[in-house]
Structure 1
Amino acid sequence: MWQVYSFSVLILIVVFSTYCSTVNETVFVNATKSKLKILGIFGFLGKSHFDVFKPLLEELARRGHEVTVVSYFPRTDDAKAKEPLPNYKDINLVDPEIDVYVNIVDLKQISQSLFFYMEELNILMAEVTCNTSLRHPAITELIRSDEKFDVILTENFNTDCFLGFIHRFKVPYLAFSSHQIMPWTNNDMGNEDNPSYIPIYFFGFIRPMNFLDRITNTVGLFLYKAAYEYWFRSVHQVIANEVFGSDLPKLQKLAQQSSALLVNTHSSLFGSRPQLPNVVEIGGIHIPSKINSLPKDLTEFLDSAHDGALFFSLGSLIKSTTMPKEKLDAILKVFSSIPRKVIWKWETDELPHKMDN
């Protein structure tokens, strides 16, 4: 039985690798023409994360696979009308009382302490995600159902509580990361993460690191891994056991069963590093092959940018209007001094200071 499952996973890896090998054209190759029943589990409330996975999930459905997707971001009515995908099924986790993570990070509250990001990842995101998503009635119904799947796709981020589905359905799984690999993930995959020359995700060190950076990087890597194993996982294990049953294996053991890890990075941006064969960079997978036209006002604005344009965005999670005044003034001063047109994701109608460009 597991030989069949492993063969199915191999097919998917080939499919994903082929998908990532082209820039301007999406090409899928499925040598056996088999149709797989795929379960996608994406319980994190961050829209920017799901936007990375969505194009691949939809493409799998276009290729004839039966795709069931658990998320907070079901296909919209407009998307369904534009392109019906009858074998793409949403299990909708949307709750009117729970907001998805868009414009929620207040920059004034961000500290530079070593464990600030761990606190945010665990308390704000992971525990809320596990408690909210896993206790949703739709999740309960899925767990109790007689559904059968060939493979599971799920996000690798700040919790393993959703890996209970691996135990529930007894199938192999592939993990996705919408950004650089988290420090604890390398342990689970057996992937190289030597802190002497590989900067960890949270510090922003630039290679080559100096001696002090390497010391900080080494200590930070140890502390982050320890915090995840003995703080995050211990809490999430309790929640997962309540949902999936007391016979659920340790989450770490389930995490180590990943057949592959697909990472939204590329060496041209993040530098080269040794990777296992089943750790595959898929940077840019969310970029569509067909680009929609820009709104008229943006088109006119960019057409008039004879000296070029600069696009500045802190992402969908961060609320730019919460930026501390001294930092905002410094950025606006630089932007106003350059000849280029500037496009900035800003949450109110006007900037504090008028800029001609």
Structure 2
Amino acid sequence: MASKILIPLLLFTTIQNVTPARILGIVPTASYSHQMFFQQIWRELALRGHDMVVITTDPTGENLPNFKEISIKENYGPFRKLMDAYGSEHIISFLMSDKMVKLNMEVIEHQMMLPQVQEVINNKTEHFDLLMIEHFPGIYYGLKHKYKCPMIGISAIDGFPVSHGVMGNPVHGVLYPNSQLPFQDDLNFAQRLTTVIFGVFLKRMFGNIDVLIEDFARKVYKDDTMPTMEELFDQTDMLFVNANPLFTAVRPHTPSTINLAGGVHMKKPQPLPKDLEDYINSSPNGIIYFSLGTNVKTKDLSSKMLQTFMDALSQLPYKVLWKFDADTLPGKPENVKITKWAPQQDILRHPKVKLFITQGGIQSIEEALYSYMPLVVLPFFGDQEPNAVKVKAKGMGLTLDPYNLDTKEFKETILEVINNKVYKDNVKKLAERIQDEPMTPLERAIWWTEYVLRHKGAQHLKGPRIPCWQYYYLDVFAFLGGVIILLLGITFGVIKLLIKGIKKLCCCRKTKKIKKN
């Protein structure tokens, strides 16, 4: 029986084999959560015999024979300035500001002028068979023209509307709100108005940056024959997004867009370090794991917010393991242990962990899902607030505003999520549905990557792109409106002539009658 199963599997594997290729992966975002999402993909492609070269802000240092990492850690400096500004201002006013454009260009110019990046750009003997680039308007698309190879866009979150538009996916602000907006299904009028205005400002932002990028790209690539970055961006062959319709939103898309469905970065379980294992096991009631991710620096939070956290945690009948960005925390409660690094996936898998307090990054939520862990979400910026809205809507936990938080509310919310088993049941139910698929997210990513290699692109899977006035039938409505107006005009004209004729006829009869008399 086993041999009957094995033979088709071997045949399938043989059919899907692809000639080893040289692949360049580029993830310029200086955020570990973005980087770790792709690390498993790079590793798996290298293990399958492909030559992987990766430009990354967070190299793994893994020693594989055909795996090279080009570190651009220096990008954390200008990127941190951008994120600090983004987190401190209202999102729409920030998108409108010249400051945002200036900070974005500082990030781009800084990374493109790094010697290690310049070496990739100016190397005349290098070649690549495939580019895999984090997908948003930018400057790295000039490498597609340089290497004349297919390109896969990749995203650690759901794609921006501009990314979906490039692939021919329907883009509609109300049906499919931008993933950066904290909206769930059935938008009310105020939300529909907001999403339209946000879309206009987002388009303006990308437009302003594109103008500056275009000028800078000419200097960087030194190639007068190169198309514009927008034209090269439009040539994306396939798009990988970290989205799952069961959690994010149900949206139609063309075959060229692949939902990796979350969890692609999940690793096999590993034993916890002894100090963490002992600490978790020492709590008779279990523990709470508290982490605000890598982009929210806990050591830089206001003293008032930190005190609120500590006051609430000190009143709980649980020990707390808190991933904190410093070696010391003045006033730390006795039931709290801080650590600068934590193997989050393995901690969440531990049976004594009762709750995950998180900032709401999508990778953290995926790890909670795969560990059946209920959540309390404290969103700060970016996609965290929209994710928090979804967590609450799905019944996976509760969300609180970290900037307007009091001790009693924080404590009661934690106890509610721990003691009410409906939250854990909802997480488990959603996780089981998400995992009920014919292949894992990582297998899907590898299969479609090699599909693009086998067919030297995937433009044939993309949908048509039409201007918005055609998408919304404005020309059709204008034509039909014109026809209706014309018909009404003719009708009223005919009626007017008939009335005039009838009046004239009546007038003639009246005149004849008078003459007879």
TM-score range, shorter chain: 0.7 to 0.9
Conserved 8 A contact 1:46-1:100: no
Tell me if the contact between 2:92 and 2:201 (Cα under 8 Å) persists in the aligned partners: no
Deviation digits for residues 102-138 of structure 1 (CA, Å, limit 9, x no counterpart):
79955996122413267686544x3233212222223
Moved more, 191-200 or 51-60: 191-200
Q: Partner residue of 2:121?
A: 143
Contact in 2 for aligned 1:110/1:116 (Cα 8 Å): no
Residue 285 in structure 1 maps to residue 270 in structure 2? no
- Indicate how the Cα distance of structure 1 residues 339 and 129 shifts in structure 2: closer, same or farther if over 3 A, else same: same
Q: Does the CA contact (< 8 Å) of 1:164 and 1:248 recur in 2?
A: yes
Matched, 1:156 2:135: yes
Quote the offset at 1:146 in angstroms: 1.6
Amino acid at match of 1:317: N
TM-superposed CA distance for 1:210, in Å, is 2.2
Aligned residue in 2 for 1:9: none
Tell which deviates more after alignment, 333-342 or 294-303: 333-342
* Residue 100 of structure 1: how far off its partner (Å): 8.4
Cα offset, 1:200, TM superposition: 1.6
Q: Which residue of the other structure, out of 212, 235, 238, is the alignment partner of 1:235?
A: 212
For residues 85 and 14 of structure 2, what CA distance do their matches in structure 1 show? 44
Correspondence for 1:133 among 111, 116, 120: 111
Deviation per CA, 1:32-73, whole angstroms, max 9, x where unpaired?
Answer: 342111112233333322211111111101001111222333
Match of 1:39 in 2: 24
Closer, same or farther: CA 303–276 of 1 in aligned 2, 3 Å: farther
1:107 touches 1:319 (CA, 8 Å); kept in 2? no
Report the Cα distance in structure 1 between the residues aligned to 2:283 and 2:14, rounded to whole angstroms.
41
Structure 1 counterpart SS, 2:117: helix
Residue 261 (str. 1) matches residue 239 (str. 2): yes
Point out where structure 2 has 5 or more consecutive residues left out of the alignment: 1-11, 337-517
Task: Among all aligned residue pairs of Structure 1 and Structure 2, give the percentage whose two residues are the same amino acid.
Answer: 27
Q: How far apart are residue 141 of structure 1 and its match?
A: 2.6
Local SS of the residue matching 2:258: strand
CA contact (8 A) 1:104 1:319 kept: no
Amino acid at match of 1:45: A
Distance 1:73 1:296 in 2: 26
Letter of the 1:285 counterpart: V
- SS of residue in 2 equivalent to 1:160: coil
Instruction: Spell out the pairing of 1:1-357 with structure 2 (5 A cutoff).
Output: 31-76=16-61, 79-80=62-63, 85-95=64-74, 99=77, 106=84, 110-116=88-94, 122-124=101-103, 126-144=104-122, 145-157=124-136, 159-228=137-206, 230-244=207-221, 245-282=223-260, 283-288=262-267, 290-351=268-329, 353-355=331-333, 356-357=335-336
Summarize the Cα distance change of 1:65–1:138 in structure 2 as closer, same or farther, 3 Å threshold: same
Q: Distance in 2 between matches of 1:104 and 1:337?
A: 37
Tell me what 2:485 maps to: none
Q: CA deviation at 1:223?
A: 1.5
State how far apart, in whole Å, the 2-side matches of 1:294 and 1:112 are: 40
Cα-to-partner distance string for 1:288-344 (whole Å, 9 max, x where unaligned):
1x2232222221232244544433333212212333455444444544454444333
Distance verdict in 2 for CA 1:102–1:287, change over 3 Å: farther
Distance 1:279 1:69, change over 3 A: same
Any conservation in 1 of the 2:289–2:321 contact (CA below 8 Å)? yes
CA deviation string 1:182-220 (max 9, x = no partner): 233223223223222323232322333222112111211
1:298 & 1:104 partners in 2: Cα distance? 34
Give TM-score, length-normalised by structure 1. Answer: 0.78
Aligned to 1:24: none
Higher Cα radius of gyration: 2
TM-score, structure 2 as length reference: 0.56
Task: Give the aligned length.
Answer: 320
- 1:242-269 Cα offsets, whole Å, 9 max, x none, are 1113332121111111111111222233
Counterparts of 1:98 and 1:178, CA distance in 2? 18
Larger CA deviation: 159-168 vs 46-55: 46-55
Kindly indicate whether structure 1 or structure 2 has the higher relative contact order, using CA contacts under 8 Å at least 6 residues apart: 1
**Conservation of the 8 A alpha-carbon contact between 1:184 and 1:224:** no
Alpha-carbon offset, residue 169 of structure 1: 0.6
Q: Which amino acid aligns with 2:68?
A: K
Would the alpha carbon gap of residues 271 and 94 (structure 1) be closer, same or farther in structure 2, given more than 3 Å must change?
A: closer
Q: Gapped runs of 5+ residues in structure 1?
A: 1-26
Structure 2 CA distance for aligned equivalents of residues 197 and 68 of structure 1: 38
**Residue 170 of structure 1, CA deviation:** 0.8
> What secondary structure sits across from 2:131 in the alignment?
strand
